[in-house]
Amino acid sequence: MKFRQIIEFQTTRIDDFNAHLDAWITKTTGQRIPHRAALCKDRDAENVYVLTVEFSSHPAGMENSGRPETGEFARFLSSISDGPLRFRNLDVLRTENL
């Protein structure tokens, strides 16, 4: 079963986030566990973003959480956020291409 983690954060430094994510993608080529990520901006709340990261399974997501580069990314995200990060861990029960 696919697994998705959602991270909600608030920042005025979204360009720094994007630059850091681009560098992380380059650095981890061929070594990444996540296979899909999407960054969304909340249209109703200023400077609020949601990052969704999808994995092949919950164990793969937990393996990714234990990696040093994931910890470094989380520390960076915390450093640019204007408040605490909010995490949701979700099993993907169904997806449809509509």
| Mean pLDDT value across the chain | 94
pLDDT at 34: 85
Q: Tell me the three state secondary structure of residue 49.
A: strand
Average pLDDT over residues 63-88: 94
The maximal CA–CA distance of the chain, rounded, in angstroms, is: 37
pLDDT at 76: 96
Locate the domains of the chain by residue range. 3-91
Query: Class of 3-91 per CATH?
Result: alpha beta
